[in-house]
Structure 1
Amino acid sequence: MKLKTKLVLLITGLVFLVISTLSWLYLGQLLQVYINQSYTTTTEAAHQVLFATRQAIDSGLRERTFNVNDPAAVRAAVADSLRTNQGLNALINSIIDYSPTVLDVSIADSQGRALLSAPNAALNDQMLPHRENYGSLRGQTLWQTLHTIFGPPQVYNVSAGLDLSGKPFLTVRIGVRTTFLKNSFRPWLLEALWLFALGMITSLAVAAFVANLALAPIETISRRLDLLEQTQGEESGGELAAESSGTVPARRAAGSDAVAQVSGKIERLGQRMRNVEEVFTALKENLDQVLSKLQDGMILFTRDSRAILVSSAVERFVGRHRDELLGADVREIFDRETRLGRLVRDSFEAGMSIVQEEVTTETGRQVQVSLDFIHDGQGGEQHSFGALLTLHDLESMQELESELELSRRMASIGRLTAGVGHEVKNPINAIVVHLELLRNKVELKEPAQKHLDIIQSEIRRLDRVVQTLVDFSRPVDLHMREYDLRQIVQQVLTLASVELEGRGVTLKSSLPEFPVTVKVDADLTTQALLNVVINGAQAMPDGGLLDVRLAEDGRWAIIRVRDEGTGIPPEVLPRIFDLYYTTKKDGSGIGLAMTYRILQFQNGRVDVESSSGGTEFSLCLPLQGVSDPAARVELASESSWNEGTGA
């Protein structure tokens, strides 16, 4: 079935449904209004007859003599008064003659026997037939009302009663015949049917017109799609053009439905666009992966200085999420009040490139800036259609070189400890076994026994040292999950609070109000931070202030632990992370080495600064997500601990 035929049928069906519904509602309302009007008019007529009946009885009984204690005599006097009263009979005849729905009028006594009946006087003194109340038609549904009016003829009563001494005395009954209702309602029904037929004819005409109007642009669209297919075919080597020119006439010959032809063309074009989109999506994902691994920040701008490509590393230079930068103008990204922003914006406004110019930011960071404008040299003229900005963190390169050097050193230590542990463990076990055999076979005097005990004690201590070497070089099973680093820091401070109080150390902590999300092993991170906190407390034997702060700089979550001890001598500082190196009398030299190793496992780092006024350890972990940008910029702008303490 063609689309045009479907449209005609659809519109016709909708119009038919609307007109049928409205006609049904209109017919129901019309019928109820007419029934209500007929009921009201007939009820008023019944009360008029009742009033006239009362007057006729009053005037008739005054002129007649009868035994008031004889019910039959009273009934006969009342009936005679009603039948001989000309005014009452004239009123009843007028109601019958001029009301289009009234069949008869009767006045009955309390037993239902007619005192007066018109127009059929033969019913006088006869029992009147039982009839339904006319008011029952008012509560019926439209379908029930139509069945009553247009079904078998029926007569309904409208009654008005007269009481005497609180008891029913007589009743006025007016009969309404459904045939009369049908005759009165038929003109209105015919009018509604004519309107329904007119609506159907109009709907057919409108449906045909709308279908033609809606499908008129289809041919134009089909021709334009043919041109588009031919153009794409020529660009791809003429293959698609041959397909378009060869298959389109065949499709038109196979079916004359223009909509089907256009649908097929759109489907082919859509498939080609989906193929191109898949290629583009794959390229974009690869490019995003490359940019996310770059340490340098890169921003690609369009001709109107809007960012269309932003690497993840840019976040730590400008303090904003890369999603906020996409589509933003260079003036919205860089603030002229900053040195970096002033340099970039001046270069954009002047149209001048920047070649590896170093800038020291307000936070003391060394940044190397490069700006290259991309030009189109066709036609002998150069027109800029974009720019590429590169931000290189010089400090990150130095830190990376330092970390690589320390990693190589730790790797060498790891290999050495693994070898020593393997080679020494077995001889130690053999010595322990033979020492026990010697103790059992030879009875030694007290001095010799003492020497054996010392040898056994030292061998056990040597075994613990070797076991520690083996454990240190053994691979660690990490359980990495996302955590709010504030919770880990708070847990460590709670664990260390008792020991800090015992040493007379005052703890001061500062945690940000927003979550700092990292992906770490919670147990190992807790162990690493606890080692640094306890180490700081031990550096202050006479007590002091231990300051623990958590901050972030857009790339790293940084836990800073600062004590007020005497500091670490410069010649000792490079060796503090070496295994078993310690300057404490009761120290093991394992804690800081383990801390450094745990941070390395989690792609983090440990920095240390020391002076005569104290030592500051910085545990850096990579951020998993970007937290509150405004708060992050505020924290990153802290230039020293002294400024933070005085805030």
Structure 2
Amino acid sequence: MKLSENEKYYRDLAEKYENLSRILEKQLQEEIIKNKEKDQILIQHSRLAAMGEMVANISHQWRQPLNNLTLLLQDVREALEFGEIDDHYIDQFTREGMVIIKNMSQTINDFRRFYKPNKEKSAFSVGDSIVEALSIFSISLKKHGIQVEFKFGGQQIAYGYPNEYGLVVLNILSNARDAFVANTINNRKLIIKLSESEKFVSAEFIDNAGGIEPSLLQKIFDPYFTTKPQGTGFGLYMTKMIVENMSGMVSVENTSNGAKFSLSVPKAATLIEKEFTATLANK
């Protein structure tokens, strides 16, 4: 059966459309792969930067125990000179030395656990994750005279990756510290508030470090964007990626005398029920 001119025209047009669709689909898949590879590179860079921060914090945490070990070892020479070394002295020396070494070892374990990525989502306490991040970063905050006000009651339980959430908090704390130092602010204060709605647990980090240039607010979470001379531009970008990967949201705005970062992650009951429903629907 011979096709009419119109039928032939529309058939050719359909073939061209299908070919174009296949080409566009292939290009789309290639771009998706490229973006995933780029994100992996950025994640790796961010983890390297975080490891540098971790090493710096460990060195701060170890300074006092190392000093105590030095004093303990110096005392051995004096005890030998005065004839004080006996079984009791050796037992006490060993006991005190082991306590110091155990505490130093525990510091490493705490940091390793904190920076180890979670492979599966789980329910976790947002307040506990923030407390853990604060304990790790406390030396740096105290060194720069930053007073932290954080009180929370109850257990605001979220669902996601607890260690990654802790890393997000660490990024926010590091950003606030750098803002205080850069702007030479006196009476430095960081207030952390928790709240929850029907679906989300939210944490607000409010500082009095002078705020962010309004024209930069829309760029603050972009990759490679930084206002710091030695900055990498990965920290806040990774913050956004991690929170969104937990189906959450992150935002920043200026207050009267500083900046306010807000992190919202799904409540455990809400997201577990949603994922369970989706699993049943796919079966």
Quickly name the TM-score band, shorter chain normalised.
0.5 to 0.7
- Does residue 558 in structure 1 map to residue 202 in structure 2? yes
Shift of 1:550: 1.4
Change in CA separation of 1:603 and 1:574 when aligned onto 2, cut-off 3 Å: same
Residue identity matched to 1:489:
I
The answer to whether the 8 Å contact 1:539/1:563 transfers is: no
Q: Is the 8 A contact 2:46 2:235 kept in 1?
A: no
Answering whether residue 145 of structure 2 is matched by residue 504 of structure 1, we say yes
Match of 2:125 in 1: 484
1:573 corresponds in structure 2 to: 217
Matches of 1:527 and 1:491, distance apart in 2: 10
Superposed, 1:205-604 pairs within 5 Å as: 415-416=34-35, 418=37, 468=45, 478-511=119-152, 513-541=153-181, 542=184, 543=186, 544-604=188-248
Seen in structure 2, the aligned counterparts of structure 1 residues 588 and 612 have a Cα distance that, compared at 3 Å, is farther
Aligned residue in 2 for 1:608: 252
For the 8 Å contact 1:568–1:611, the answer to whether it is kept is no
With over 3 angstroms needed to count, the CA separation of the structure-2 counterparts of 1:586 and 1:605, relative to structure 1, is same
CA RMSD of aligned residues (A): 3.2
Q: Distance between the aligned counterparts of 1:567 and 1:600, measured in 2?
A: 24
Larger radius of gyration: 1
Shift in Å at residue 510 of structure 1? 2.1
Q: Give the superposition deviation at 1:569.
A: 1.4
Show the counterpart of 1:10.
Answer: none
TM-score (normalizing by structure 2) = 0.53
Distance 1:522 1:414, change over 3 A: farther
Instruction: Indicate conservation of the 8 Å contact 2:210/2:258, yes or no.
Output: yes
| Contact residue 565 and residue 613 of structure 1 kept, 8 A | yes
Change (3 A) 1:420 1:485: closer
The 1:622/1:565 distance shift into structure 2, 3 A limit, reads same
Shift of 1:530: 0.8
Aligned residues: 169
Deviations 1:439-489 (A, max 9, x none): xxxxxxxxxxxxxxxxxxxxxxxxx98963999xxxx86321111222111
CA distance in structure 1 between the aligned counterparts of 2:124 and 2:228, rounded to whole angstroms: 34
Higher relative contact order (CA 8 A, sep 6+): 2
Q: What is the CA-CA distance between 1:418 and the residue it aligns to? A: 2.9
User: Aligned pair in 2 of structure 1 residues 502, 413: CA closer, same or farther (>3 Å)?
Assistant: farther
Change in CA separation of 1:546 and 1:478 when aligned onto 2, cut-off 3 Å: same
Aligned-pair CA distance for 1:535: 0.6
**In 2, Cα distance between the equivalents of 1:487 and 1:619?**
15
Residue type of the alignment partner of 1:527: L
Give, in angstroms, the shift of residue 612 of structure 1: 5.7
Letter in 1 for 2:140: E
Q: Which amino acid aligns with 2:144?
A: R
Which consecutive residues of structure 1, in runs of 5 or more, have no partner in the other structure?
1-411, 422-463, 627-647
Q: 1:574 to 1:487 in 2, by over 3 A?
A: same
The CA deviation at 1:417 is 7.3
- Report the Cα offset of residue 415 of structure 1: 3.9
List aligned pairs for 1:131-210, cutoff 5 A: none
Structure-1 separation of matches of 2:176 and 2:46:
25
Structure 1 residue identity aligned to 2:159: K
What amino acid does structure 1 have at the position aligned with 2:234? I
Please list, as runs of the form range in 1=range in 2, the aligned pairs for 1:99-138 lying within 5 A after superposition: none
Amino acid across the alignment from 1:516: Q
Q: Is the 8 A contact 1:482 1:520 kept in 2?
A: yes
Deviation at 1:416, TM superposition (A): 4.8
In 2, Cα distance between the equivalents of 1:597 and 1:581?
Answer: 15
Unaligned runs of 5+ in 2: 1-30, 49-116, 271-283
